[in-house]
Structure 1
Amino acid sequence: MDLVRGKHGFDVIHENGNWQLNRDTGFSPTQATVAAVAACSGYVYDSILEKKRIDYTIENIHVTFEQDQEAVIHVLKKIEVTFTLKVADADQIKAEKALHLVKKSCPVAMSLDPKIEIIEKVIFS
């Protein structure tokens, strides 16, 4: 993976188009980190639900985050990942219980400082 100086900051080079790492014209590095946690969590949750043979559709992943605004460096404090899931009523309890496996199986989440609180939630549609 390579980064180059672009017009508005740094760009991650990709054959399908560069990804700007600048909050004014793309995503900030912090937002990219949070998005990586959400995407990784989504792939992991997919895998867990498939292994449990639950018929489902992840319709949406919404992610929010908080930074420590009082620290000199505004480090991440909390990441909350909310999955909107379409699943049969009979499988909802199993799908909800499977959430506790997501963070432990997500290499991105496990690579972050353990002080960062990562919360997974599910909403059934």
Structure 2
Amino acid sequence: MEFYIKGEGIRTSFDYGELDISGDEMNGFRPFQLMVASIAGCSLSVYRKILDKQRIDYEDITVQANVERNTEEANRIERVSLRFVVKGYHLNQDKLLKNLEISRNNCSMVQSVKDSIEVEESLECIQLSR
């Protein structure tokens, strides 16, 4: 990866497209947003793969990420709380929780930050009827 100065921010390019990074949201994504997006995105992606492999009948999965930062220490991220909401049919909450733990252990981003950022996960199941 190569990064370079572009206006008031930093830019890099990938096969998918360009990414602008800046401490000012008017000029790009803020670094902490990218960190949280990496953690949440990886976690959700791994969780989805696990549910798909097990043929769990879900309609939708969303993740709400809440971030706690320490202003005394360079505004560092100290905790990311991920709230998974699974909507589906005949959901087994115990099985979904177990799969969430499996996903945590297999998410490269969660594992990469485990000794520096606390990552918490919670689950809400919404049962749909047909």
Interval of TM-score (by shorter of Structure 1 and Structure 2): 0.7 to 0.9
TM-score (norm 1): 0.84
Distance across 1 between alignment mates of 2:66 and 2:95: 25
The residue aligned with 2:87 is 86
Residue 2 (structure 1) shift: 2.1
Q: What is the Cα deviation at residue 54 of structure 1?
A: 1.2
1:15-30 aligned at under 5 Å gives the runs 15-22=15-22, 23-25=24-26, 26-30=28-32
- Tell whether 2:83 aligns with 1:77: no
Q: Deviating runs (4+, > 6 A) in structure 1?
A: none
* TM-score scaled by length of structure 2: 0.82
The answer on 1:34 being equivalent to 2:36 is yes
CA-based RMSD:
1.9
What is the deviation of 1:111? 1.0
Does residue 14 (structure 1) correspond to residue 14 (structure 2)? The answer is: yes
Alignment match, 1:64 = 66
Distance (whole Å) between structure 2 residues aligned to residue 65 and residue 14 of structure 1: 27
- Equivalent AA in structure 2 for residue 10 of structure 1: I
Measure how far apart 1:116 and its partner are: 1.4
- For residue 89 of structure 1, give the secondary structure of its aligned residue in structure 2: coil
Unpaired segments ≥5 residues, structure 2: none
Matched, 1:109 2:110: yes
Counterpart Cα distance in 1 of 2:113 and 2:72:
20
**Distance in 1 of aligned mates of 2:60 and 2:4:** 34
- Measure how far apart 1:55 and its partner are: 1.5
| Counterpart-to-counterpart distance in 1, 2:78 and 2:31 | 15
Query: Once structures 1 and 2 are overlaid, which stretch shifts more, 114-123 or 11-20?
Result: 11-20
Which AA in structure 2 matches 1:32? Answer: L
SS at match of 1:64: strand
Q: Which runs of 5+ in 1 are unaligned?
A: none
**Is the 1:54–1:95 contact (alpha carbons within 8 Å) kept by the matching residues of 2?**
no
Identity %: 27
Change (3 A) 1:6 1:89: same
Distance in 1 (CA, whole Å) between partners of 2:60 and 2:3 is: 32
Q: How many pairs does the alignment contain?
A: 124
